[in-house]
A and B are shown apart, each in its own frame.
Chain A
């Protein structure tokens, strides 16, 4: 009967924290020893951003149980608002780390606002209809950002839509330049910042899941009608999970933008949403450590090991993706894996009985 028992969550959470901290210590010491190739070093912060995006999407897909195909839209909002904030503060005598923190906070806040705007209509729908509407919102956000013009002059920020002529005064500077996006960003996000945000997001998600609100969210996932019958307000808790997820994606976007020279709206299109979803599904729904590992491997893999295959790189990536899905979902292989790793048995029982 042991296999029926659900293991204490706290142990699993501590393993996740431990892995993240250990990975950070190893990476940071390799970087400080100068042993890391510079090409790889430049990938570390974007990798952190994708990890955050993946765990935030896992909150929507794994914990709330709603498929979102427009998560990159929230990253986009966070990236552009965060980078604008950082550039607006440039030269105001603010230290880099504070600018970075401000950018992430602004990115998260405005992405949360976008989350409310998108979530209120979207969460009324179900299943694939919900998924397609998140896709639609992702595309709308992309189009809006592509046509957005923001500039800074001594009088303050100027915003224009569809029209590059925003009447910048003397000494003015264009920040967001429509389809060209933001260029000339000073790279102020660091590995440490990425690590701190990952850890914060993990703490928020784990503490949320193991609390009254988190149980309400999971109850809605498992059975909405039963959840409402015991007095759980579906709209409130669905929106809560969705907005927290959007805010984290916004923070990820801001982190990402500040690690690049140039950011355009096309960077956060449907394909990026799908990429993040792939991390989540491969890592396992609701499994944060899985998302982190999947995001790390699948982000670093095409950039490093697969480089040797040059032109065949993305083709191999596609094949790897298909094979991974076929293998991880093959019943025979799962049973065989279960025999190989005795502690895995428990999980098999949980999922299949």
Chain B
């Protein structure tokens, strides 16, 4: 111990070359997955340096919003399930993976239309979600949330390992189901179709969910259950059915998110879903867990922060920066950006 302390320690916290902006080609982002090369923008030509910088900025913003939209869709599923069942459904990320595999097999192996693939993925995931809820979570409705959390982790392990057994851990390359082209805006700036579809899908889903929970009978039942299950039951709401419907919706969203995620980052392995799952969960907390607009806002912000920090600061540290921002936000607003402040009655 004493000998160890005698060692002088020289700390060289040098800014490495990779911190410098614009070293890599504009708009190429490696932070998320190795196949993330996307978007246009040629590496810096000396004459048009300023243009390239601003072009790459716009490009990164688009990529960020696109990735953020995927996070937002996953986060919406997380937040709905959390809101009603008060549990952190760690298996949600793996439902994404299952959805992506189903779509992959339909489109790639059977060569059928992508729309059919997406529909099949949504159908299978919905059934899977309800099945998981019935078998694993329903018997635990009355016990501590910690026990349910561990069960959710067990389900997550199960899905990952089952996928590994059925589909092996060899990476599959997800087909470009939305085509490889894009809409050319000004000059070199092109928005790929998949990005447009992703952002569009996210907006439609969010609007749909807000309308659903606000206007429909089932949606109102969901809100009632998330406030107080016992009271809702006394008012004649079928709590079990409502929770099942919530899981079904959340899992369907996960399937959509899986397809969108893999069309942007096409490497598909049995653990594909886990990191986006955790990040989307972070996004849901970021925006205030239980809140639908919060999940949307949190997802978009998280995606933009991640893409920007890996493009302009450091690819290696992108994840750490995302989590650091989360911590700072929660310290300033302890219940997330749009979360309700719940004060305990004394």
Contacts and interface: CB of A to CB of B under 8 A. Distances in A.
A157 B10 CA distance: 6
B285 interface: yes
Interface string B1-21: 101100111111110101100
A278 B285 CA distance: 23
A128 B344 CA distance: 16
Interface stretch (A23-31, A188-196, A312-320, A335-343): A312-320
Interface string A157-194: 11111110011000000000000000000000000000
Given A143-B320, A285-B146, A326 B7 contact: no
Interface in B261-289: 278, 281-282, 285, 289
Contacts of A144: 320
A128 B88 contact: yes
Interface stretch (B41-49, B66-74, B158-166): B158-166
B10 A321 contact: no
19 contacts: A67-B149, A88-B7, A102-B4, A106-B1, A128-B88, A129-B330, A136-B282, A136-B326, A140-B320, A156-B9, A156-B10, A162-B18, A312-B165, A314-B164, A315-B165, A318-B158, A321-B150, A325-B150, A326-B136
Given A92-B3, A162-B18, A314 B11 contact: no
B321 to A, nearest CB: 9
A213 interface: no
B153 interface: yes
Interface stretch (B117-125, B175-183, B218-226, B311-319): B311-319
A155 B8 contact: yes
A129 B282 contact: no
Contact of A89 (B4, B316, B326): B4
A101 B19 CA distance: 39
Interface string A313-353: 01101110110011011110000000000000000000000
Contacts, number: 160
B4 A88 contact: yes
Given A128-B285, A136-B282, A325-B151, A146 B316 contact: yes
B283 to A, nearest CB: 10
A320 to B, nearest CB: 8
A52 to B, nearest CB: 20
Interface of A: 61, 67, 85, 88-89, 92, 94, 101-102, 105-106, 121, 124-126, 128-129, 131-133, 135-137, 139-140, 143-144, 146-147, 152, 155-163, 166-167, 225, 270, 274, 277-278, 281-282, 285, 311-312, 314-315, 317-319, 321-322, 325-326, 328-331
A326 B335 CA distance: 31
A129 B158 contact: no
Contacts of A89: 3-4
B331 interface: yes
Interface of B: 1, 3-4, 7-14, 16, 18-19, 82, 88, 90, 136, 139-140, 142-143, 146-147, 149-151, 153-155, 157-158, 161-162, 164-165, 278, 281-282, 285, 289, 314, 316-317, 319-320, 323-324, 326-327, 330-331, 334-336, 344, 346
Contacts of B10: 155-159
Given A125-B334, A144-B320, 4 more contacts: A67-B146, A102-B3, A136-B282, A137-B327
A325 to B, nearest CB: 4
Contact of B331 (A105, A106, A124, A155): A124
Given A88-B7, A162-B16, A326 B162 contact: no
A158 B12 contact: yes
Contacts of A139: 319-320, 323
Name B's interface SS.
helix
B25 to A, nearest CB: 21
Nearest to A224: B344
Contact of A140 (B13, B149, B155, B324): B324
A163 B319 contact: no
The 8 nearest A-B residue pairs measured at CB? A136-B323, A321-B154, A318-B157, A156-B8, A318-B158, A143-B320, A322-B154, A163-B16
A111 to B, nearest CB: 15
Contacts of B82: 128
Contacts of B317: 143, 147, 162
| Residue among A67, A121, A161 facing the most chain B CB atoms (10 A cut-off) | A161
A144 B82 CA distance: 31
A325 B82 CA distance: 20
A321 B326 CA distance: 31
Given A140-B323, A143-B319, A163-B14, A125 B154 contact: no
Contacts of B140: 325-326, 329
A322 B151 contact: yes
A125 to B, nearest CB: 5
